[in-house]
Chains A and B, each alone.
Chain A
Amino acid sequence: MKSAYQKILVLLLLMPVTALAEWGLNMTPGVTPISKEIYDLHMIVLWVVTVIGILVFGVMFWSIFHHRKSKGAKAAKFSHSTTVEILWTIIPTAIIISLAVPATGLLIRMDDTSEAKITIKATGIQWKWKYDYLDEGITIYSSLDANSQEVAQLNSGLSPMDHENYLLDVDEPLVVPVNTKLRLLTTAEDVIHAWWIPELGWKRDAIPGFINDNWAVIEEPGTYRGNCTEICGKGHGYMPIVVKAVSMEEYEAWVDDKKALKLAALESQNKTLTMDESMAEGEKVYKKQCLMCHQANGQGVPGAFPGLAGSVIATKSENTLEHLYRIIYGKNLMPKFGDQLSDLEIAAVTTYERNAWGNDTGDLIQPKEVAEARKNQTK
């Protein structure tokens, strides 16, 4: 009996140790100097509490086995001992102070965001991330990849098991150079989100009206994945964060590409779309941006997100402009997409919504009309 109990106890106490050694389920040491320090501190605390646990539970179990009535134990009468009580107040205090000292130093180092080379602002939006490279003037939007979106639908019938990066992949990762001090600002447009990459060692809330600053120096090239970690509504589980750390040369080439793409997007405003082109492009945009709330069949979620199939806005021709306004500027829970989508994309998705799911209005919206709509509202 005794040995069985003790075996269970030993197993229970060793569980975290074996798990972290063999199954790789401990905290990641990460890829920045700070994340490694955090990992070390985590391991110290874990060992401290494990040792305390073994001692305290050891004494308790020894007592449980030996001071039993069934073993003829007679109860002692003592009910206090000042010496012991002082001792077990002082020792824990000393342990705590010895943990607080390294924690304080680490926290102070983490707080110093000075002399960063590159500043990027991450803005949480329901349910995607917007990254502004403040030094380069480029902006990218990063949302859940199409593959995960498809699999993640309720009863999609598709197995996530085939997708290694299920819910941890995005269409546009944040690209950053290695061995460079990055300053990452976090904020939000609508509700509170939180930006977390475990390999960087920290998470930080993204709060509307606040800008928090953090820093990281990534030492190893690679792709690092995390999630939004503050509940932010229906899509909270579906706004991953992916950071791609590359060499400085690759980073600079990527920046040049992005700048060129920005120019190309400006030019696409002058394009005239055919119905087929519009429907194809519109469906792509819809799946990426609109499907989460308005659903694949355009029915929405009653009481929360209005349906588009057969809706007054999406079918009546006199509401075409209002339809565009809602997409560009948002309304109530509907976020504004004007900053994120190009004129061509907005035109295409509007056309798509006015013709899909039996809406069949035949309306074909051109990028020029979107440009007009943008102007109108500012007037």
Chain B
Amino acid sequence: MGTIAKDTHHDHEHKPTGLKRWFFSTNHKDIGTLYLIFALTMFFVGGAMAMVIRAELFQPGLQFVDPQFYNSMVTIHALVMIFGAVMPAGVGLANWMIPLMIGAPDMALPRMNNMSFWILPFAFALLLSTIFMQGGGPAGGWTMYPPLVLQTGDAFPFLIFAVHLLGISSIMGAINIIATVFNMRAPEMSLMQMPLFVWTWVITSFLLIASIPVLAGAVTMLLTDKYFATSFFSAAGGGDPVLFQHIFWFFGHPEVYILALPAFGIVSSIIPTFSRKPLFGYASMVYATASIAILSFFVWAHHMFTVGLPIKGELFFMYATMLIAVPTGVKVFNWMATMWKGSMTFETPMLFAVGFVILFTIGGFSGLMLGITPVDFQYHDTYFVVAHFHYVLLTGAVFALMAAVYYWLPKWTGHMYDERLGKIHFWLSTITANILFFPQHFLGLAGMPRRIPDYNIQFADFNMMSSIGGFAYGVTQLLFVYIVIKCALGGKKAKAVSWEGAKGLEWTVPSPAPFHTFETPPKIKKGMLENG
């Protein structure tokens, strides 16, 4: 593979140095790295807030924080984890890997790429600064339902503008990915030959472009309701508080898949590699992803079963929601069939990928339960829901992101990470995450509402268990940082094809991937790609 490096016309890499390299970067790899580091930082910021929440819930009674501050922790934890950790991590992976996977020299719009990243630190500076303001940070939940959110103090405009900025950044990122994939693929690569990770990101990008402007509209209406005497959402002025929820969840449900689809893509790359067997049902994977994306625009009101929808509406949204289980099931069965009769090994990426499949499926089961309207009247807004979405987002999306980092770290750094520590990280994460979230199913069924700082003593045991799991999970993630830093600084040299069964163009470039790759489009040989 060294021959490819010599084929490029550069003796040296033309790499700018110092701060300029990072602030003015237009290189997809550097911007990808920035995104990933930023996401990891935010993962710890949001995680610290989760630790505050679990510390307060460790036992009944109010020990550490005021209820208002508790509510702001709940609110900002969600915003930081969704918009600051999981989404940027996904975009970072897309930046790094999509050009490498499709044989493109860079993203199609490199300067916009720089801007979409550098908006993020400013957006989060706005959002996080609110914690120190008079009246505290936003405390009405990340869903920002009026009229409650309109009671926010000085933090309110900061919240709205932070959301606007995050939206702008996401839309630019999405446009960039679509432009790159449709214009810069290696000429010999057809759409149905693209790795599934690329497919899931194309579909995610369309979801972003369709849904983020809706959110921007909704929060702008909140802004004018608060400061310019409009009454979009105020019943007293002829408006409708439920209208906000419809608009918000029209964005919010596709958003769930914006977080989940790239995870599907990652796992669809990793499982075939470590099973040494092609992905089962590639075409049906693509169609299932697309159907999930399309269906995601027709299920928003399942977040609102208790607002008092007309019965026909409730039935429609119940059927549509249950229908999503079918394409999701197809994906799980395909992963299972990929493993079936493979020749499996279980390095850390594979462990996280298999962990993802199992735990995400458990989250999917509770999702199916929640989708059944009459029963949802009991589950809604309880810890059952909290358990559900943490199974799909933490042991789902975050596990897949971890898998991706371990999988591609050798390509990024040129070193193999410490396999033994990686495995320890996986097992500790899996055990602690389950101690953290599994008892929350019981809490919800037994009647504990979500977003409360204190609770009746009947919930004490499981909350303590959950908190212990939470602290342990939090500490475990420090190990991840150590493993990544250790790998960046040194370790066993990684080969170009870092994993025995790895397929795809990203493995045809040396490890670490040079600053510029694929300046001339690669020729695709038979058997080189994950598919075709």
Contacts and interface: CB of A to CB of B under 8 A. Distances in A.
Interface in A217-266: 226-238
Interface in A58-79: 59-60, 63-64, 67-70, 73-79
Contacts of A161: 60, 457, 460
B459 to A, nearest CB: 10
A304 B68 contact: yes
A36 B279 CA distance: 45
Contacts of A64: 339, 344, 354
A205 B306 contact: yes
A100 B358 CA distance: 25
B374 A26 contact: no
A298 interface: no
A79 B346 CA distance: 21
B372 A103 contact: yes
A339 interface: no
A106 interface: yes
Interface stretch (A187-195, A283-291, A313-321): A187-195
- Main secondary structure, interface of B, reads helix
B147 A53 contact: no
B451 A163 contact: no
B284 A85 contact: yes
B255 interface: no
A166 interface: yes
B369 A236 contact: no
Contact of B71 (A27, A73, A234): A234
A153 interface: yes
A233 B148 contact: yes
Contact of B369 (A24, A46, A79): A46
The residue in B65, B329, B357 that gathers the most chain A C-beta atoms within 10 A of its C-beta is B329
Nearest to B304: A205
A236 B148 CA distance: 11
B378 A198 contact: yes
A42 B378 contact: yes
Interface string B441-470: 110011101111111110010100000000
Nearest to B272: A79
A208 B234 CA distance: 8
B342 A76 contact: yes
B140 interface: yes
Given A209-B241, A230-B381, A237 B452 contact: yes
Nearest to A195: B306
A93 B311 CA distance: 23
A207 B308 contact: yes
Interface string A173-200: 0000000000000000011101010100
B281 interface: yes
Contact of B341 (A73, A104, A229): A73
Interface stretch (B128-136, B189-197, B200-208, B260-268): B128-136
A104 to B, nearest CB: 6
Given A63-B340, A155-B63, A194-B381, A232 B372 contact: no
A100 B318 contact: yes
Nearest to A34: B374
The residue in A70, A76, A78, A96 that gathers the most chain B C-beta atoms within 10 A of its C-beta is A96
Contacts of B323: 96
A85 B322 contact: no
Interface string B103-133: 0000000000000000000000000000001
A56 B61 contact: no
A304 B342 CA distance: 61
B147 A75 contact: no
B139 interface: yes
A299 to B, nearest CB: 13
A358 interface: no
A205 B145 CA distance: 13
B242 interface: yes
A217 B318 CA distance: 25
A201 B241 CA distance: 25
Interface stretch (A107-115, A129-137, A271-279, A348-356): A107-115
A278 B341 CA distance: 83
Q: What interface size band does chain A fall in?
A: 35 or more
Contact of A107 (B62, B318, B447): B318
A333 B151 contact: yes
Given A41-B372, A302-B134, A73 B60 contact: no
Contacts of B452: 227, 236-237
Given A69-B276, A161-B457, A203-B381, A103 B148 contact: no
A103 B456 contact: no
A28 to B, nearest CB: 7
B361 A53 contact: yes
B428 interface: no
A19 B378 contact: no
Contact of B153 (A59, A76, A303): A303
B333 interface: yes
A75 B503 CA distance: 15
Given A100-B319, A237-B454, A53 B362 contact: yes
B336 A231 contact: no
B445 A234 contact: no
B60 A166 contact: yes
Contacts of B418: none
A15 interface: yes
A92 B329 contact: yes
Contacts of B357: 60
B240 interface: yes
Nearest to B446: A25
Contacts of B345: 68-70
A159 B68 CA distance: 21
B278 interface: yes
Contact of B336 (A59, A79, A191): A59
B475 interface: no
B421 interface: no
Contacts of B326: 89, 92-93, 96
Given A99-B372, A209-B235, A192 B147 contact: yes
A152 interface: yes
Contacts of A362: none
A229 B369 contact: no
Contact of B140 (A15, A76, A163, A233): A233
A108 to B, nearest CB: 7
Given A41-B374, A80-B282, A152-B61, 9 more contacts: A67-B343, A69-B344, A69-B345, A75-B275, A103-B374, A152-B62, A210-B307, A303-B154, A333-B151
19 contacts: A27-B445, A53-B365, A57-B358, A59-B340, A69-B276, A78-B280, A80-B280, A96-B322, A99-B322, A167-B454, A190-B147, A202-B377, A203-B381, A229-B380, A232-B148, A233-B71, A237-B452, A304-B68, A304-B135
Interface of A: 12, 15-16, 19-20, 23-28, 37-38, 41-42, 45-46, 49, 52-53, 56-57, 59-60, 63-64, 67-70, 73-81, 84-85, 88-89, 92-93, 96, 99-100, 103-104, 106-108, 110-111, 151-156, 158-161, 163-168, 190-192, 194, 196, 198, 201-205, 207-210, 212, 226-238, 301-304, 333
Which 4 residue pairs of A and B lie closest in terms of their CB atoms, listed nearest first?
A: A209-B235, A303-B134, A237-B452, A303-B135
